Amino acid sequence: MGLRRIRAAGLAFVAVVVVACGSPAGSPSANTIEGRSDVGGHELWISCTGSGSPTVVFDAGLGNGAAAWSLVRPAVAETTRACAYDRAGIGQSPPRSDRHAVSVGVMADELIRLLDAARIEGPVVLVGHSYGGMIVRLVAGRHPDLVVGLVLVDAASEHELEGEWLAKDVDWVDGSTLIDRPTSGVELAAVDDLGDIPLVVLSQGQTSGQFAVEWSRFQAELATLSSNSVHVVARASGHSIQHDAPDLVTAAIAAVVHSAREGTPLPSCGQVFTSAGAQCRSR
């Protein structure tokens, strides 16, 4: 898979950029950036540490930003480049000036523009939690030349944007951004086949009742997006697996990065997850 060429000439933003002049390729300071970039009327903040390829890009759940990955990103940055960002109105990213509802597809396009501005060339592995899982799924489907691996951490899906789920839920607000859920559902439904991209689906284990039945079905369906996937349940974890079981998330990312680097299928679930807290699910 060829490397994606970056259109942006540079970081057009107020930033602290550390270019490791003369640093060894594996040094922690190599390729470190931190700052904001205009993505079309507003700015988004991004931080990257570590070095290596593919670059791992983290996308947090609704109302959360880069800080949500504080227990996972440092470990990932020890072996490859790791980036996280704040969506508009969250953390260090100012709110949008236009308060109209936006879809997941708009968020996906903004992430691509941010990566371009930050000169983050492919290949990349995307890691998305909850609502962030929707965004990275769309990016993977729309940019197969860029994305070589995907980790979905208790990710939301189009099913929560339709029917009874849509009717019973309150409005989704991300920072100061209202989410256009009907449009988002249509966009996500169009991404139903990611080929053989390395994909790990991590699902929460602390659910009960009818919600548990439906959520389990939604998660199992996400694992069918790729023919090269692993699905595991974090037995003792709630929705925020990156907080409750960060080692499982780190293991998932390591497996996907290795598969992408070597061009080989993912190992079996039991080989990836040796912790007693992991329950492998068959596809």
77-134: per-residue pLDDT in tens? 999 999 999 999 999 999 998 878 999 999 999 999 999 999 998 899 999 999 999 9
User: What 3-state class would DSSP assign to 91?
Assistant: coil
pLDDT given at position 165:
55
Q: How far apart are the first and last CA of the chain?
A: 26
223-255 pLDDT tens trace: 999 999 999 999 999 999 999 999 999 999 999
Round to whole Å and give the CA distance between 173 and 180: 10
pLDDT given at position 282:
76
Say if pTM beats, i.e. exceeds, 0.75: yes
pLDDT given at position 107:
97
136-156 pLDDT tens trace: 999 999 999 999 999 999 999
Positive or negative, the Cα torsion across 20, 23, 28, 30? positive
Backbone angles phi, psi at 193, to 5 degrees: -150, 110
pLDDT given at position 164:
58
pLDDT given at position 9:
31
Bigger pLDDT: 17 or 261?
Answer: 261
Low-confidence winner among 26-30, 48-52, 102-106, 230-234 (lowest mean pLDDT): 26-30
pLDDT given at position 80:
97
Round to whole Å and give the CA distance between 152 and 59: 10
Question: Is residue 24 over pLDDT 60?
Answer: no
DSSP 240: -
Question: Is residue 17 over pLDDT 50?
Answer: no
Question: Is residue 49 over pLDDT 80?
Answer: yes
152-186 pLDDT tens trace: 999 999 987 765 555 555 567 787 788 998 899 99
Q: What residues contact 26, with CB distance under 8 A and at least 6 apart?
A: 51, 52
CA atoms within a 13 Å half-sphere pointing along the CA-CB vector of 129: 26
Q: What is the chain's alpha carbon radius of gyration, rounded to the nearest angstrom?
A: 18
Query: In this structure, are residues 274 and 222 in contact, taking their beta carbons and an 8 Å threshold?
Result: no
Question: Is residue 36 over pLDDT 80?
Answer: yes
Q: Enumerate domains of the chain plus CATH numbers.
A: 15-281 (3.40.50.1820)
Q: What residues contact 190, with CB distance under 8 A and at least 6 apart?
A: 141
202-213 pLDDT tens trace: 999 987 777 778
Encoded tokens for 192 = 């139903």
